[in-house]
Amino acid sequence: MHAAATSTPERQAFYDRLAPNNLAPLWEVLGALITREPQSPCIPAFWRYGDVRPQLMEAGRLITAREAERRVLILENPGMPGKSCITHTLYAGLQLILPGEVAPAHRHSQSALRFVIEGNGAFTAVDGERTLMRPGDFIITPSWTWHDHGNETEEPMVWLDGLDIPLVGFLDASFAEPGNAEQQMETKPVGDSLARYGMGLMPVDWKPATPTSPVFNYPYDRSREALETLKRADDWDPCHGLKLRYVNPATGGSPMPTIQPFMQLLPAGFRTESYRSTDATIYVAVEGSGTSRIGDASFHWQPHDVFVVPSWCPVRHEAGPESVLFSFSDRPVQQALGLWREDRQARAA
């Protein structure tokens, strides 16, 4: 926006005298502070599950879930090494729980989503209710709720964690507490929340007490069925194919205050038009295969692969066979602040 001012010895001497007084000249940094367009350290990135899985299993041999508290390999954006973030505002990691293991109860102000990758029927418990995890399920751990995970099955359980850790850290609003017991008491039957709030019905006098959805497992068979039925309507969005957003049934808004998840279907051979938006987005391939061109990068994905589209970076997807993508971003935060923008004719990616 503003070209850097010329440096003169006199000016530099002045700046040197300002610094001890905790003062700095705006005109030296204005262009870097207020950019014409988003300038993110986040870059397009890709994780092939076939490459990550052996290292995740190696972590399983080196440390228990109990000792680690959460046995997770963080997916670090290569543009921000060592920062534990996948985008500038969000964190993601792959969590492993082996048969017989427990990840002990704790709670924190950060909100978490789980997107189930592999395994069949290990559980996560949230405030006294267990839910069984199946591939493709989208599960929420709301802010400040007690949660522990356990695997009473014979198979390893792997899911993608998505948390608002960087965002909460930026706001200096992180609180956390360990549970007094390793596992919380089960106080509700499995499926309680879905029956109570997720069937197009609500208990008659119920009012939401938090901004997070009262439904905490959105099972894949239901999301998939929605896509399967809607694809017959044949009204494809040129930029998205058939894209649905998960909702909080109490508000119609995002299921989580800081993160909006999506599920989309691309028919065989479909090529989306170039698109960009200010919410950097994390994708997980669920079914099919395809290629996504993100800025200058190009990634060929298969089920369980993860990739990142940075803020305002043009993206185009091309499906091979019919494909399903899960994704999530900080869009609700940007929308609440009036900052979110999209561009449906992005310069060709």
Chain residues in the site for ligand GTQ (CB under 6 A): 70, 72, 93, 95, 108, 112, 147, 161, 163
* Burial class, 200, CB count within 10 angstroms (exposed 0-12 / middle 13-18 / buried 19+): exposed
Alpha-carbon distance of 303 to 28, in angstroms, equals 47
Query: In this structure, what token pair is assigned to residue 148?
Result: 């522990």
Burial class (CB in 10 A: 0-12, 13-18, 19+), 249: middle
In angstroms, the CA 272 to CA 252 distance is: 27
- Rounded Cα distance between 30 and 234, Å, is 48
Identity of the residue, 166 or 332, whose beta carbon is nearer to ligand GTQ in the bound complex = 166
Whichever of 96 and 266 has its CB closer to ligand GTQ, that residue is: 96
Give min distance, CB of 245 to ligand GTQ, in A: 23
Do 290 and 333 form a contact (C-beta atoms < 8 A)? no
110 versus 323: smaller Cβ distance to ligand GTQ? 110
Measured from the CB atom, is 100 or 178 closer to ligand GTQ?
178
147 vs 331, which CB is nearer to ligand GTQ? 147
End-to-end CA gap in the chain: 25
Cβ neighbour number for residue 292 with a 10 Å cutoff:
24
Shortest distance, CB of residue 170 to ligand GTQ, whole angstroms? 17
Minimal CB distance to ligand GTQ: which residue?
A: 161
> Of 36, 280, 309, 258, which is closest to residue 140 (Cα–Cα)?
258
Could you tell me the smallest distance in angstroms from the CB atom of residue 138 to ligand GTQ? 15
What's the rounded Cα separation, in Å, for the pair 273 and 239? 5
Q: How far is CA 180 from each of CA 129, 148, 185, 187, rounded to the nearest angstrom?
A: 17, 12, 11, 16
Minimum CB separation of residue 45 from ligand GTQ in Å reads 17
Measured from the CB atom, is 130 or 147 closer to ligand GTQ?
147
- Least distance from C-beta 336 to ligand GTQ, angstroms? 24
Nearest distance, CB of residue 58 and ligand GTQ, angstroms: 18
For residue 123, the cross-strand partners are 132, 150
By C-beta, is 115 or 270 nearer to ligand GTQ? 115
Q: How far apart are CA 262 and CA 192, in angstroms?
A: 24
* Minimum distance from residue 161 beta carbon to ligand GTQ (Å): 3
**Residue 163 · residue 112 · CB < 8 Å:** yes
Q: Report in angstroms how near the CB of residue 177 gets to ligand GTQ at its nearest.
A: 11
Structure tokens at 99: 């048969």
Residue placing its CB nearer to ligand GTQ in the complex, 12 or 210: 210
